[in-house]
Amino acid sequence: MERVTVTLPADLVRDIDQLERNRSRFVLEAVRRELERRRREDLHRSLANPHADALELAELGLAAWAQALPEEDVAELLDPQAGRPIQWQPGRGWVET
């Protein structure tokens, strides 16, 4: 663990102290939750606005992608029976087809 100094308003510290005896634990849990929330938010933003290369790959479809793979990799990387068919639709995102 690394020691980090954080300055908080006195009223916020009082609120923390009322809920948790260990301020460090409280801050650690809060930071972890916030980081996870931001990662999820970034993922949702990425799914809603995919990179142009990802969009092109999605438009090509799984079959075209699989055909481009070296033959020895297909069995390891691709199970066409798994999952559900989806398609990117501008303004709607990924939708089942």
Q: Quick one: 66 and 37 in the same domain? A: no
Residue 5 lies in a domain: no
* pLDDT of 76 over the 70 cut: yes
pLDDT at site 6: 94
Residue 31 lies in a domain: yes
DSSP secondary structure string for all residues of 13-60: HHHHHHH-S-HHHHHHHHHHHHHHHHHHHHHHHHHHS--HHHHHHHHH
Q: Quick one: 40 and 68 in the same domain? A: no
pLDDT-derived band at 53, boundaries 50, 70, 90? confident
* φ and ψ at residue 20, rounded to 5 degrees: -145, 130
- Among 34-38, 57-61, 87-91, name the one with the lowest average pLDDT: 57-61
Domain that holds residue 29: 10-48
Looking at the structure of the chain, the number of domains it has is 2
**Residue showing tokens 């923390």:** 16
**Whole-prediction pTM:** 0.53
pLDDT at site 45: 83
Q: Quick one: 41 and 67 in the same domain? A: no
